[in-house]
Amino acid sequence: MQKPFMRIPYTGPLPAPTIVPRSANTPTGAILALTNFLSAPRSPLLPLSADSHDGTVLLTGAGVSVASGLADYRGTAGTYTLNKSYRPIYYNEFTTNHEARKRYWARSFLGWTNLHKARPNDAHWAVRDLGKRGYISKVITQNVDSFHPIAHANLPTLELHGYLRSLVCIQCGNHLPRKEFQQSLSTLNPAWAAFLAEMLETGALDSEHPDERRQKGLKSNPDGDVDVPNAPYTTFRYPPCPTCLVNPPILADGSQSTVHTDKDGAWSQQSTAGVLKPAVVMFGESIAASIKTAAEEAIDSASRILVIGSSLATYSAWRLVKRAKERNMPIGVLNVGGVRGEETFYPDIKADNDGSAGVRCSERADKILPALVQSLGQTVPADKEYTTPAAQHSYK
């Protein structure tokens, strides 16, 4: 039996970044080192297998989406950095506690608006162009914002932790679009809907920066929710799975489930089925075996790995880089701040390394990646252009 691939946050201290090579301590040096990294021939230390090829697998985290206006976890303005008491909801808590679900969906209801209107940024478009040029063979992302598949539909993307664009029923497995669910939440909670409209009108939700939101009595978190201190979360209501409501499923123990609603159609605590959850892998939840296998195959079939915008603080992501290291794959990291276990990534790299054997930069992805595309000689397609000064274009 395979060991569960679980999303568990790492709470220990992260090491200060050690720049590799030393010349990568400036944006220009980082671009050159990354150019050498992506252009290097396949390492002779890699194991040979029938499905291996000379390609780079990308592993991305929340830092890639910061320039889209979303919060991250451990960046300079990240949730864990500025809010030491922050604790994400865990899978077992969500699935067994009606009050916890009320609180989660109330916060998610307020936070969905900003996530829904946010768009991919220059880092995502640069990943698309690197893929078109053949420098990237596959993307594994921890992000749940769907920006990668939106920006580069033709470059394979594995969403390691799922996505927020839909919901899934815990009992029957039915999927429901988030947009439809959001409308149901608004109908069931008119006072909350009015509060959301007021927040949007006053601009209280215009910024994802925790300090600015805190001044307005709000806290923003990376998984698309908003915390309102002292809010009456217990009054919030949410709908049941429409499939279970019509056809209650047989439960795992063989018994017939029931789904009850109040007079307005909200899920009732008397129900034994019909609980919807976001189609994300919550903390403490195991990643599906098919996703785990696909992620491992993506690592095994590549010749190098490049981590962008991630501190590798979740075991599911860190484990993939550990697997790459065990296969003697060159490792690249582009992330502002420390990365879990990075002190073990580069101990054998020679002093004359120019980035080909490994690279570690502490720079913003939305600034570096478009310039990296230019350094590698890629012409930016006219339909999607960059906003960065290096590209001298404006995205439309």
Is 161 a catalytic site residue?
A: yes
Placement of tokens 């890639």 in the chain: 64
CA distance 144 to 279: 9
Q: Exactly one of 161, 175, 260, 393 is catalytic; which is it?
A: 161
> Reduced to 3 states, what is the DSSP secondary structure of residue 337?
coil
CA distance 25 to 17: 10
Work out the number of other CB atoms within 10 angstroms of the CB of residue 383.
6
Under 8 Å between Cβ of 121 and 366: yes
Write the CB contacts of 10 (distance below 8 Å, at least 6 apart in sequence). Answer: 312, 313, 314, 315, 318, 340
Pairing assessment for the beta strands 304-308 and 56-60 based on DSSP bridges: parallel
Give ∠ CA 96-146-54 in degrees, rounded to 5.
115
Pairing assessment for the beta strands 358-361 and 331-334 based on DSSP bridges: parallel
From the DSSP assignment, how many helices (H) and strands (E) are in the chain? 13, 13
CA distance 381 to 393: 11
**Catalytically annotated residues:** 161
